[in-house]
Amino acid sequence: MDIDETRLNKVSDNLKRLNLVAELKLGNAMNKLWWNKKLFNLIIADVPCSASGTLKRNPDIKINRRESDIVNFVETQRNIVINLWDMLDTNGFMLYITCSIFKEENQDNIEWFKSNLNDFELIEQFQIIPTEYNDSLFYALIKKR
């Protein structure tokens, strides 16, 4: 699911190229208008972020990002996860992903989720720091008990 039809079209093209099948949905993860009330066993929440870990490929981020952007991204990330949490079945997993290097969007959010989501269990979190060969990636695997 994505809010942007152009990105969904790219996903569709990649699925075809790889001979894979998936149901794609245009929708906003901050609301439930698209949801059919069926609980998910796994949700991959690749949330919008500052993309600060992709600076090498996107040098304009350094010029265009403001501190207020980070605050807005954190709020959006939290709203998405809170909304999706209701859709996750008991004993289901959520994989939270960003391409940010900022603690606010990563470890701080995981701590916030621990304090604000019922039945939250952190299984693992990991951050890959950007190098000359790769971008940054943060992920946290979360279980709903």
Which sequence positions are flagged as catalytic? Answer: 99
Q: What is the DSSP track for 10-61?
A: HHHHHHHHTT------B--TTS-TT--SPPEEEEEEE-----GGGTTT-THH
DSSP H/E element including 90: strand 88-98
How far, in whole angstroms, is CA 115 from its chain's centroid? 19
Summarize the chain as % helix, strand, coil (round to 5).
Answer: 35, 25, 40
For residues 92 and 40, is the Cβ–Cβ distance under 8 A? yes
Give the number of other CB atoms < 10 A from CB of residue 93: 17
